[in-house]
Amino acid sequence: MVAIFRKMAQIRLNDERFISLMKAGKMVMPYYSARGQEAIPSAISVLLTNDDYLVTIYRGIHDMIAKGVPPRLIWAELAGRSTGACKGKGGPMHITHPKSGCMVTTGVVGAGMPIACGLGLASQLRGEKRVTVTNFGDGASNIGAFHESLNLASVWKLPVIFVCQNNRYAEHTSFAKGTSIEHVADRAKSYSMPGITVDGNDPLAVYAAAKTAIDRARAGEGPTLIEALTFRFNGHLIGDMGEYIPKAEYQAALAADPYPRYRQWLIDDGHAGAADLDKLEADIKAEVDESVAFAFDSPLTDPSEITRDVYAEVA
């Protein structure tokens, strides 16, 4: 329980620091904050190991941190340093860290899902028990890659968990305007797999749904579609003023912020004392300080790197 909160705190405190450094002019990048969505990957990831694969998207730093990508490597990546997860060649939309299972991060809506099928296929061919979790937004449920992937995963019974983090907006277009169905999870029926809609701001509900799906995938019984209802508090990307979001909807979403709610529940239900959580947050703030220092103390990636990693290097 507290392990989930620890991940949520890591996500939140890193996110807040990214934004503050961007606003201070110290970092320039397209940054798609997932503040508000942190309960989803935090609850799922405690069920995974480094052997399990993650495929995520441009709004995915929360997914990476939850999966175990060291934040200092993310910081160095975003700062364009040679010590970055991808030597500064990927940036916020393309972080990869195979050691923690973060295999692909895509900047193209929906494109991670076919790739997740391939990771699942590899596990299946090798008789491994590992599973692949692929995250995407509600907007991606309208693109062809989603439908092709669910179909392929179902036909081949692949160990893939499709996690739709439904934050109600596809860039600037509301869910209702762009999606022909009330619940994305209902689309699972077309592909003969279980589909479940859960409150994505409730870590326990997400955990329960993910456990069922992961157990099913590990048992070789095939894929599941999970729709986790949530909201993103900082718009599509930093700088987005959110004029397209009705004020009442935004206020209601803020009121359902998973972070303070879960924090309070941990205390009320006796899982942690307030002082424990204060200390946990203080420790993570210190970690963030260390990550920022590591990033900015690291050398910039040398321009000669532009010709490396394009093709295999031939001896």
Partner 1 sequence: MNASPKSAQVNTIQALNWALDDAMAADPNVVIFGEEIADPEGGGIMKVSAGLSTKYGGRVRSTPISEMGFTGAAVGAAIVGIRPVIEIMLMNFVAVCMDQITNHAAKLRFMSGGQTHVPLVIRTMTGSGFQTGGQHADFLEAWFCHTPGIKVVMPSNPADAYGLLRAAIDDEDPVIFVEHLASYWNPGAAPERGKSIPLGKANVVRSGKDVTVIGYSRSMLDIPVVAEKLAKEGIDCEIIDLRTVSPLDMDTLLTSVKKTGRAVVVHEAVKSFGVGAEVSARIHEALFRELKAPVQRVASKDSPVPFAKQLEAAFLYSHADIEQAVRSTLRQ
Q: Which stretch binds partner 1 (CB under 8 A): 238-246, 247-255, 262-270, 304-312?
A: 304-312
Closer to partner 1 at the Cβ: 4 or 131? 131
- The answer to whether residues 263 and 5 touch, using CB atoms and an 8 Å cutoff, is yes
Q: Which stretch binds partner 1 (CB under 8 A): 1-9, 233-241, 280-288, 306-314?
A: 306-314
Closer to partner 1 at the Cβ: 120 or 258? 120
Residue 222 makes contact with partner 1 by CB under 8 A: no
- The answer to whether residues 138 and 166 touch, using CB atoms and an 8 Å cutoff, is yes
**Site mask, partner 1, residues 72-111, x = CB under 8 A?**
------------xxxxxxx---x-xxx----xx-xxx--x
Q: How far is the CB of 193 from partner 1 (least distance, A)?
A: 15
Helix (H, G, I), strand (E, B) or coil at 5: helix
Single residue of 57, 113, 193, 196 touching partner 1 by CB under 8 A: 113
Site for partner 1 in 16-75 (CB under 8 A): 53, 55
Helix axis angle for 258-268 and 274-297, nearest 10°, is 140
Closer to partner 1 at the Cβ: 151 or 212? 151
DSSP letters, 144-197, are HHHHHHHHHHHHTT--EEEEEEE-SEETTEEHHHH-SSS-GGGGGGGGTS-EEE
Q: How far is the CB of 227 from partner 1 (least distance, A)?
A: 20
Closer to partner 1 at the Cβ: 4 or 85? 85
Backbone angles phi, psi at 103, to 5 degrees: -90, -40
Single residue of 121, 208, 238, 280 touching partner 1 by CB under 8 A: 121
Pairing of strands 102-106, 53-57: parallel
- The answer to whether residues 20 and 242 touch, using CB atoms and an 8 Å cutoff, is no
- The answer to whether residues 124 and 154 touch, using CB atoms and an 8 Å cutoff, is no
Q: Give dist(CA 7, CA 30) in Å, integer.
A: 23
Residue 148 makes contact with partner 1 by CB under 8 A: yes
The residue ranges that bind partner 1 (CB under 8 A) are 53, 55, 84-90, 94, 96-98, 103-104, 106-108, 111, 113-122, 125, 132, 144-145, 148-149, 151-152, 155-156, 308-312
